[in-house]
A and B are shown apart, each in its own frame.
Chain A
Amino acid sequence: MGAGEQMSQFSDSGATGPDGRISPLSVGPAPTAVMDSRVIGQRSPIVELVDVWKSYRTGTISVDALRGVSLRIAGGEFVSIIGPSGSGKSTLMHILGCLDLSTLGSYRLAGVDVSEMDEVELAEVRNRRIGFVFQQFNLLPKLSAWRNVELPLVYAGVERRVRKQRALRALERVGLADRVEHRPTELSGGQQQRVAVARALVNEPSLILADEPTGNLDSSSAADVLGLLGELHAAGRTIVLITHDAEVASAAGRVVRIRDGLIHADEAAHT
């Protein structure tokens, strides 16, 4: 699969919706296991957590942050995970984002079991399968908007010329075509978060994970970013939004409530 083809698929999925729903493509040569799983991936859910436990050990005290969480998220879903602080939602987000491994239980991401992967394999999965949007934006201040957006492609080993093309398209997609050379400090909070969203999109991930994406924004910028996530969902993206704010959570079609390390409720949002 050439870069050009990926480009066209990227624009398809960006513009025409359900066609490019799952976007199982990865950039460059992917491990065989991942390639083979594409067929399965299209039928099975994007996220499939089965009885996931996560324990932290602090000295002699062991804390169970997750106590048997099972969750399925289908391709194209927009799901909010809501819970108060200490509920385990951050731990869940880390596991969903392959930033951390569960103590017990299995996690299949786009059909691939990631629960036994080592650090290097997880890095590759994050690189190809997941797009992160953080509360703090986490943009590198010395780099211009497009250079921030291209970062995942740098680690994927994509050629520079192609990287720039794709970064510019992603920025165009989030409405920042005229800000590509601006540094984060020259952008408003809302614009910075849009750059972060573009960065989350640029690798055509299976899953976009947004962790309190509106936490640092004023209400109009927050609405703006949520609107953008809604648009991406409408275009077929699978999005998981982690928040403590019920109003923000209601932007999604499905709300998963988590409390004390357990899923407390899983319901369609009532907007």
Chain B
Amino acid sequence: MSWFETLRSGMEAIAGHRLRSGLTVLGILIGIAAVILTVGLGEGATSQVNSAISALGANLLIVTPGSTTTGGVRGGFGSASTLTYADAVALGSHVDCPDIAAVAPTAQSETNVVAGTSNWTTSVVGTTASWLSVRSRSIEVGSFFTAAQVKGQNDVAVLGSTTASELGLGFDPVGRTIDVGSVPLTVIGVLTSAGSSASTNEDDMVLVPITVAQSQILGSDSVQTIYLEAGSSGTLGAAYNEADDELLSLHQITTPTAADFTITSQSTIAATASSVDKTLTVLLAGIAAISLLVGGIGVMNIMLVSVTERVREIGLRKALGATPAAIRRQFLVEASVLGLAGGVLGAGLGLIGAAVLPHFISNTISIEWWAMAGAVGVAMVIGVAFGVYPATRAARLAPIEALRSQ
């Protein structure tokens, strides 16, 4: 019996039991769609995190105070206020740290900002002129403050686009005056929108010269973060070492393990984030795979029912000259057609889900072609794998026993 004949016979058998075959296919379909969607969700989350991290800026090192790194998990911003503006100035010295191209310290707090009759509580970030390039941001209207304005403690401010609109300064904000914690500042520019990442809104902030922030708003000379930009990705390692040495000597620490600061690179943040993400993806995909397994057991169940129900037919086919191999092939083809149909339909449902779901949840779903092809392949393999036992049972039936059954 040729493969074509076997396939045709299998299709006829499936078409002969539409409801039952449909329900079996449904089991596989749901499993495959679940796998595709969870893997897609995981991929989507990973790329989201990665793009958020790369949006921090290129070749970036981040110095935070008194934080520890344990097993790859950063302890977060420490309560220690060990970094100062002076540290940032020292790191900016091209003599001591030739590979550090730019330095942007930030000192920030949540502060209420008033503009005319509007008020809005947001992050007030004190920083230097390098912030714009270090964080890979740009100015939409007006200008950013200059190094001279920082040094001269000019009372100026640059707004995030969200902040500007919340304060009612969406139209022609430059030159307007805002009160930041009762300190009047002149708005000189608005940032181009960066879009919001999952956790932080990069468009909701007020940037002021760090000198102004420290002396008039925060009343402290400590900084929370120092962003360092290396000249290129090739000098990132050198920049790291220079910053480490400089800060250790400035803080008079002799044992590097006792450092009261942490330097993180963008890539380590990305690695940590994506490993957390991977764990979640694997977990979800595992659950989806279990549903796929249940679908496979459904195929086996139905194939066993089919074999039992068609014992006479098997007996007849054997009497007419079907070899055990031909019978086995017939049932295997039937099972794999069920699996394949579930795979293809499941992939279709997965695609529809990927298109529709993001409208209801905040996550993006990125469907990769390899995930689709893999899922369809797996579905077929499941059909075959769970069809082997029923098919072998059919092939082993003795023709006389089979013909005798009612």
- Asked if A pairs with B, the answer is yes
B73 at the interface (CB under 8 A from A): no
Tell me whether B400 and A127 are in contact (CB under 8 A): no
Tell me whether A138 and B400 are in contact (CB under 8 A): no
In the bound complex, CA of A39 to CA of B13 (Å): 42
Most chain B C-beta atoms within 10 Å of own C-beta, residue among A120, A127, A154, A203: A154
Residue of B whose beta carbon sits closest to that of A203: B321
In the bound complex, CA of A142 to CA of B2 (Å): 20
In the bound complex, CA of A203 to CA of B323 (Å): 16
In the bound complex, CA of A138 to CA of B300 (Å): 26
Tell me whether A151 and B324 are in contact (CB under 8 A): no
> Among the listed stretches A5-13, A66-74, A94-102, which one makes contact with chain B, having 4 or more residues with CB under 8 Å of it?
A94-102
Note all chain A residues with C-beta closer than 8 A to B324.
119-120, 123
Cross-interface CB contact of A151 among B2, B320, B398, cutoff 8 Å = B320
Tell me whether A126 and B400 are in contact (CB under 8 A): no
> Among the listed stretches B197-205, B224-232, B310-318, which one makes contact with chain A, having 4 or more residues with CB under 8 Å of it?
B310-318
B140 at the interface (CB under 8 A from A): no
- If A94-B400, A99-B399, A157-B1 touch, does A138 touch B312 (CB 8 Å cutoff)? yes
Report the contact-size class of chain B (Cβ under 8 Å from the partner).
20 to 34
Residue of A whose beta carbon sits closest to that of B316: A138
Cross-interface CB contact of B320 among A119, A132, A143, A157, cutoff 8 Å = A132
In the bound complex, CA of A203 to CA of B321 (Å): 11
A192-244 contacts to B (CB < 8 Å): 199, 203
- Interface residues as binary, A114-126 with B (CB distance below 8 Å gives 1, 0 otherwise): 0000011001101
Tell me whether B323 and A152 are in contact (CB under 8 A): no
- If A123-B321, A140-B313, A140-B316 touch, does A99 touch B5 (CB 8 Å cutoff)? no
Tell me whether B320 and A127 are in contact (CB under 8 A): yes
Tell me whether B320 and A126 are in contact (CB under 8 A): yes
Minimum CB–CB distance from A211 to chain B (whole Å) comes to 9
Inter-chain CB contacts under 8 Å: number: 63
User: Looking at chain B's contact residues, is the secondary structure mostly helix, strand, loop, or mixed?
Assistant: helix
The interface on chain A, measured as residues whose beta carbon lies within 8 A of the other chain's beta carbons, has a size of 26
A127-159 contacts to B (CB < 8 Å): 127-128, 132, 134, 136, 138, 140, 142-143, 151-152, 154-157
Note all chain B residues with C-beta closer than 8 A to A94.
400
B319 at the interface (CB under 8 A from A): yes
Note all chain A residues with C-beta closer than 8 A to B321.
123-124, 126-128, 152, 155-156, 203
Minimum CB–CB distance from B365 to chain A (whole Å) comes to 42
Minimum CB–CB distance from A52 to chain B (whole Å) comes to 16
- Interface residues as binary, B1-32 with A (CB distance below 8 Å gives 1, 0 otherwise): 11001000000110010000000000000000
Known: A94-B400, A124-B323. 20 other contacts (CB 8 A): A99-B318, A99-B319, A123-B318, A123-B324, A124-B321, A126-B320, A127-B321, A134-B316, A136-B312, A138-B316, A138-B319, A140-B313, A140-B316, A142-B12, A143-B12, A154-B5, A155-B321, A155-B322, A157-B1, A199-B320
What 7 pairs across the A-B complex have the smallest Cβ distances? A127-B321, A155-B321, A123-B323, A138-B316, A152-B320, A99-B399, A99-B400
Residues on B facing A (Cβ under 8 Å): 1-2, 5, 12-13, 16, 312-313, 315-326, 398-400, 403
Residues on A facing B (Cβ under 8 Å): 94, 97, 99-100, 119-120, 123-124, 126-128, 132, 134, 136, 138, 140, 142-143, 151-152, 154-157, 199, 203
